[in-house]
Chain A
Amino acid sequence: MLQGLIHKMKRLGERFPQSLFFIMALSALSALALITIFIFIEGIPLIVKVGFFNFIFGMKWAPSLGQYGIFPMIVGTVLVTLGAIILGVPIALCCSIFLAEFAPRKLSNLVRPAIQLLAGIPSVVFGFWGLIFIVPAIRNYLGGPGLSILAGSIILAIMILPTVISISEVSLLALSPLLKEGAFALGATHWQTIRSVLLPAAKSGILASIILGIGRAVGETMAVIMVLGNAVALPSSILDPARTLTTNIGIEMGYASGDHQQALFATGIVLLVIIMLLNSIAQYAIRRK
C-alpha cells in the first residue's frame, strides 16, 4: 500500500515540473498582456476625450493649453525613419553581402563580432557622438540648427546597421550553394550572380530584416532625443528640428501629470500599434520563405 502511495507521488512529482514550466512559459504571454492592458487603460481615455482624429491628425501639441495633436510627431517619426532606411539599408546590404560572399573566413569572424559590438553600444552614446560630430557638421555645411531630422536619420541609420546586416547575412548564407554553382556554370561573374540570383532568392529574409530595422528606428528614443532638437511644430525640411513619437514621450514624461501624462500613454498606444503591425508584416515575410 505504501509502495502504491510512493509510486503515485512519484508520478505527481513528474507532473510538477511539467506544469511548472508551463506556468513559466506563460510569463511571456502575461507580460505582453499586461503591457498592452496597462498602456491602453492609461491612454484610451485621453484619446476618447480629445477625439481620435484630433489626436492623430491634430497639428498642435500644447499640453498647457489642453491640445494633444500628435501629427507633427508622426511626421517626425516617418521622416527620421525613412531617412534612416534610405541611408542605412544600402550600406547594411553591402555589408551583409560582404560577410556572406566576399570576406575570407578569418576576416568575417572578426567583422561579425564587431557588428555585434556596434549593436551593444548604448543608444545614449550614439546620441552623444552625434551631438558632437554630426550636428555641428550639418549646421556648418548644410545650414539650419544642426539639431535636425537629418542628424536623427544618420544616427539611426548607424544604429539599425547590425539588425539589417545580421538577418540579411543569415538569409544569404541559408541559400543553397547550388544556386551559386548554377549561375557560375553559366558564366556569370560573382556580382552578376549576387545581383540576379542570390539577392532575389534571399528577398524575403532581407525584407524581414529591413522591416525589423524600421521597427528599431521607430522605437529608438535616447539617441534621437539628443540630436533631433525639440521643436513641436511640423517640420518642413530635413534640416528642421522635430520630435518623434518616442522623443515626445521621453522628453515630457519626466514632468507630465494628469491629462498630459495620459496623452503620453496614448502616444505609447500608437507606438505599440505601429510596432505590432511591423512585426506581423515581418513574420509574414519570413514565413513566405
Chain B
Amino acid sequence: MGIRLNPKTTQKIAKAVIWSAAILVLFLLFSIIIYILSKGIPHITWQFLTQIPSDMGRSGGILSTIVGTLSVTLVAIIVATPLGVGTAFYLTEYTRESTITKIIRFSAESLAGIPSIVYGLFGFIFFVIYLKLGWSILSGGLTLAVMILPTIIRTSEEAIRTVPPMYREVSFSLGGTKWQTMIKVLIPSALPGIATGIILGIGRCVAETAAVILTAGSALQMPTSLFSPARTMAVHFYILASEGISLEKAFATSALLIILILLINIGANLLVNKFVAKGH
C-alpha cells in the first residue's frame, strides 16, 4: 500500500523541501528586521537620541533608557567577566574531571536554562528586597550578571581549551609559574574567544526584558547613580508597545535595539573569524 516513489524523485522532493525551509527561515528573519528598521529608522532623530522621555514616553526621546541599558550592561559585564573567566581557568587547570568540576559545570549548565522571568523573581527577592538594593541599576546589573555567567564560562573555557597544551609545558619548562603562564600566554591566546563570549553576553543584556523590569524598575527619569532605578530600551519598548502609548516611538526604539544587536553580532563574528584565522 502506498505509492512507491522513485528514489530520485524523493531526492528531488526532499531537496526542495529542505531548501524551502532554509529560505523560509531567512525570509522570516529579514522580514522582521526590515519591517522594524523601515518603520523605526525614520523616527530616530537626534532629539530622539538625546532627549529624555516625557509624557510617559509619548514625546521626547529615549536618552534615559539608553543610559539605563548601558549602565546595567556595564555592571553585568564587569561582574560576570572576571567570575566567568576565572571559573573557566579553574575548569581547564584539571586534565581529569573531578567531582568539583562536574558540580561546577552542572551548575553553569543549569543556570543557562533558567527562564528569564525566574531570574527576575530571584533578582527581585534577593537584590531588590533582601539585600535592600531597591529597584536599581545595581540590582538589574547583578541579576543580568548571573544570567550571562554561563555564556562567559562556556565560551572562555572553549577558548582556553583551544590553546595548545604545549604552550603551558613550554612556559613551565622556562620556569613560569601557573599564574605567569596564565597571564602571559593563555589569556592572550584565548582572548578572541573570551571577547566573543563577552560580546554575546552584552547582546543578551541589551535584549533582556523580563529580568530587568523586575529588578531595575521602569522609572523614566535619568538615573543618577548605581542605586537609581532605570528603564532599559527593551523595557521601554515593551511598555510603549503593549500599552499602546506611542507606536512611532515603539518602532524607533525597537529599530535602535535591532541596530545595536546587529552591530554586536557583526562584532562577535569578526572576532570569531580572527580567532579561526589564528590557526586554531
| B-binding residues in A (CB < 8 A) | 13-14, 17-18, 20-22, 24-29, 31-32, 34-35, 38-39, 42, 90-91, 94-95, 97-99, 102-103, 111, 113-118, 120-129, 131, 158, 161, 165, 188-192, 194-195, 212, 215, 218-222, 225-226, 246, 249-250, 253-254, 264-265, 268, 271-272, 275-276, 278-279, 283
Interchain CB contact under 8 A, A221 and B8: no
Query: What are the 3 tightest A-B residue pairs by CB atom distance, in nearest-first order?
Result: A219-B115, A24-B86, A94-B21
Q: Which A residues touch B150, using CB under 8 A?
A: 28
Q: With A29-B104, A39-B125, A264-B121 as known contacts, state yes or no: A102 contacts B15, CB within 8 Å.
A: yes
Interchain CB contact under 8 A, A249 and B117: yes
Residue-wise interface mask of B (95-135) relative to A, using a CB-CB cutoff of 8 A (1 in contact, 0 not): 00000100110111111011111111110111000100000
Residue B56, interface by CB 8 Å: no
Residue B18, interface by CB 8 Å: yes
CA distance A22 to B91 in the complex (A): 9
Residue B153, interface by CB 8 Å: yes
Interchain CB contact under 8 A, A21 and B86: yes
Interchain CB contact under 8 A, B117 and A219: yes
CA distance A99 to B22 in the complex (A): 9
Please name 12 further chain A to chain B contacts, defined as beta carbons within 8 Å, in addition to the given A97-B18, A191-B7, sorted by A numbering. A18-B178, A24-B82, A31-B107, A91-B21, A94-B18, A113-B265, A118-B25, A118-B29, A122-B209, A124-B254, A195-B14, A265-B121
CA distance A91 to B17 in the complex (A): 9
Size class of the B contact interface (CB-based, 8 Å): 35 or more
Most interface-central of B29, B35, B36, B109 (chain A CB within 10 A): B29
Q: Which A residues touch B213, using CB under 8 A?
A: 254
Interchain CB contact under 8 A, B261 and A122: yes
Checking A22, A215, A220 against B113 with a beta-carbon cut-off of 8 angstroms, the contacting residue is A215
Residue-wise interface mask of B (64-90) relative to A, using a CB-CB cutoff of 8 A (1 in contact, 0 not): 000000000000000000110011011
CA distance A124 to B239 in the complex (A): 10
Q: With A212-B113, A219-B115 as known contacts, state yes or no: A115 contacts B25, CB within 8 Å.
A: yes
CA distance A127 to B269 in the complex (A): 26
Checking B14, B33, B100, B182 against A191 with a beta-carbon cut-off of 8 angstroms, the contacting residue is B14
Most interface-central of B35, B82, B107 (chain A CB within 10 A): B107
CA distance A276 to B111 in the complex (A): 10
CA distance A63 to B147 in the complex (A): 30
CA distance A39 to B117 in the complex (A): 12
Closest to A187 in B: B7
Q: Which A residues touch B122, using CB under 8 A?
A: 34-35, 38-39
Interchain CB contact under 8 A, A268 and B118: yes
CA distance A28 to B178 in the complex (A): 23
Q: Which B residues touch A25, using CB under 8 A?
A: 86-87, 90-91, 100, 104
Interchain CB contact under 8 A, A28 and B153: yes
| B36 nearest CB across to chain A (Å) | 6
CA distance A99 to B17 in the complex (A): 14
Closest to A253 in B: B214
Interchain CB contact under 8 A, B117 and A246: yes
CA distance A29 to B93 in the complex (A): 18
Q: Which B residues touch A39, using CB under 8 A?
A: 118, 121-122, 125
| B271 nearest CB across to chain A (Å) | 12
Q: Which A residues touch B35, using CB under 8 A?
A: 129
Interchain CB contact under 8 A, B21 and A117: no
Checking A117, A124, A278 against B261 with a beta-carbon cut-off of 8 angstroms, the contacting residue is A117
Q: With A27-B149, A102-B19, A118-B25 as known contacts, state yes or no: A131 contacts B258, CB within 8 Å.
A: no
Most interface-central of B146, B177, B210 (chain A CB within 10 A): B210
Interchain CB contact under 8 A, A189 and B11: yes
Q: With A115-B25, A221-B116 as known contacts, state yes or no: A279 contacts B110, CB within 8 Å.
A: yes
Residue B257, interface by CB 8 Å: yes
Interchain CB contact under 8 A, B114 and A219: yes
| B93 nearest CB across to chain A (Å) | 7
Q: Which A residues touch B25, using CB under 8 A?
A: 91, 95, 115, 118, 161, 165
